[in-house]
Amino acid sequence: MKTFTNPHVAIVGATGAVGTTMLSILEERDFPIASLRLLASSRSAGNTVETTWGSIVIEDLATADPAGIDIALFSAGGARSKQYAPKFADAGVAVIDNSSAFRMDDDVPLVVAGVNGSAITSHQGIIANPNCTTMALLMAAGPLHDAAGLKSMIATSYQSVSGSGKTGMDELERQMKFFSKDIPALASGDWEDPGGDLYQRPIAFNVLPLAGSITDKAYTDEEWKLVNETRKILDRQDIAVEPTCVRVPVMVGHGIAASMWFDDPVSADAATEILASTPGVQVWDDTKVPTPLDSAGIDDVLVGRVRETIGFPGGISLFASGDNLRKGAALNAIELAELLLER
């Protein structure tokens, strides 16, 4: 595996919600950079961004030459990743991709820093970032799996609108303002539809029990990500995962309620002790309930409501919440870049 000391770094998709978060986290963590390049679509090309490393002119991804780049942090969407990431990898660039384009590729490691970081050593040019929901959940499930062997899990996600990008955040803000003009109508059922093309139903003051697009067996692509990515990251294909993904009127921060059963019994006290000693996890007790609002803007995943299952005894139920733009995307990508430097 190629190693670096002071790498030449590029952010691909630099003007999006995750791309801008990547830049701010690089600055916050004093990431050792020899040079930084910012790439985006032609719409943004030519604009200048002020950074710790000076004024940087955004380049057009379509015409950019990857020569000289050591690490490229991709957050430009699946289609652009499929088109450009292999070109960068062929040029000797270590690509850390935030899209779903390569996650289930057998030749591409799917890595959560702090859970299966050693998997990064098998990369052949491209490393995949997991889905933001999977990421937050596995920060809790991963350490418990290491201790007791995860065999089955029921997981329900409560995903913020920023999971749909800035478009989702704009739609929630617009609909909140629309509905706020007549709050009593929300209780009487006399509300008017605020309109919107992004979600199947209004998202403001509402909960949508369908996040993503329907695919196989009437499950959404978001739900299948929880199934398939969990198995790949934890390197156990027989883990039974029963997922439901829900969209909620939250700007930033995904929450996941999960019940898990293991090869070996785990008590609530033992689970709490394991999680409390896990870097990147904060355990909150029932006097300080973890919520997406609390997780927004911080690096750690918050875990609480840790308790032993009662319907099917022997398992552990908990609630995890993480900032989907940070640990769920940008932070993990940069932590993977840091692993490349360490190794």
Quote the pLDDT of residue 306.
98
Same-domain status, 15 and 122: yes
Quote the pLDDT of residue 165.
87
Quote the pLDDT of residue 3.
60
Same-domain status, 68 and 47: yes
Quote the pLDDT of residue 4.
66
pLDDT confidence bin for 301, thresholds 50/70/90: very high
Residue 286 in domain: yes
Same-domain status, 246 and 289: yes
User: DSSP of 158-205, one letter per residue?
Assistant: EE-GGGG-HHHHHHHHHHHHHHHTTTHHHHHT-PPP---SSSSS--TT
Contact 308, 316 (CB under 8 A): yes
Residue 111 in domain: yes
Same-domain status, 144 and 255: yes
Same-domain status, 215 and 234: yes
191-244 confidence digits (pLDDT tens): 999 999 899 999 999 999 999 999 999 999 999 999 999 999 999 999 999 999
Same-domain status, 241 and 104: no
Catalytic residue among 123, 132, 145, 245: 132
Q: How far apart are CA 24 and CA 38, in angstroms?
A: 13
Residue 168 in domain: no
Q: Per-residue pLDDT averaged across 10-24, rounded?
A: 95
Residue 252 in domain: yes
Same-domain status, 81 and 149: no
Same-domain status, 147 and 276: yes
Quote the pLDDT of residue 310.
97
Residue 197 in domain: no
Same-domain status, 87 and 156: no
Same-domain status, 218 and 88: no
pLDDT confidence bin for 17, thresholds 50/70/90: confident
Q: Which two tokens stand for residue 280?
A: 């990147």
Quote the pLDDT of residue 236.
98
Residue 62 CB partners (closer than 8 Å, separation 6+): 41, 42
Span of 140-144, 213-217, 278-282, 285-289 with lowest mean pLDDT:
285-289
CA proximity to 137, closest of 117, 119, 153, 160: 153
The CA–CA distances, whole Å, from 266 to 141, 230, 286 equal 12, 20, 20
Orientation of helix 132-148 relative to helix 268-276, angle to 10°: 120
In the chain, what percentage of residues exceed pLDDT 90? Answer: 95
Task: Give the structural domain span for 33.
Answer: 8-130+330-342
Q: Could you count the other beta carbons within 10 Å of the beta carbon of residue 92?
A: 13
Residue 186 in domain: no
Q: Which amino acid is at 112?
A: V
In the chain, what percentage of residues exceed pLDDT 70? Answer: 99
Q: Is the pLDDT of residue 5 over 80?
A: no
Q: Which amino acid is at 54?
A: G
Residue 169 in domain: no
Catalytic residue among 123, 145, 245, 254: 254
Based on the structure, what is the number of domains in the chain?
A: 2
Residue 187 in domain: no
Same-domain status, 291 and 335: no
Q: Per-residue pLDDT averaged across 165-173, rounded?
A: 94
Q: Per-residue pLDDT averaged across 157-178, rounded?
A: 96
Q: Is the pLDDT of residue 292 over 80?
A: yes
pLDDT confidence bin for 169, thresholds 50/70/90: very high
Q: Residue 258 sits in a domain of what CATH number?
A: 3.30.360.10
Q: Is the pLDDT of residue 2 over 80?
A: no
Same-domain status, 97 and 217: no
Active site residue 145: no
128-156 confidence digits (pLDDT tens): 999 999 999 999 999 999 999 999 999 99
pLDDT confidence bin for 80, thresholds 50/70/90: very high
Quote the pLDDT of residue 1.
58
The DSSP code for 135 is H
CA angle 206, 289, 199 (to 5 degrees): 20
Contact 194, 178 (CB under 8 A): yes
Active site residue 254: yes
Q: Residue 20 sits in a domain of what CATH number?
A: 3.40.50.720
pLDDT confidence bin for 275, thresholds 50/70/90: very high
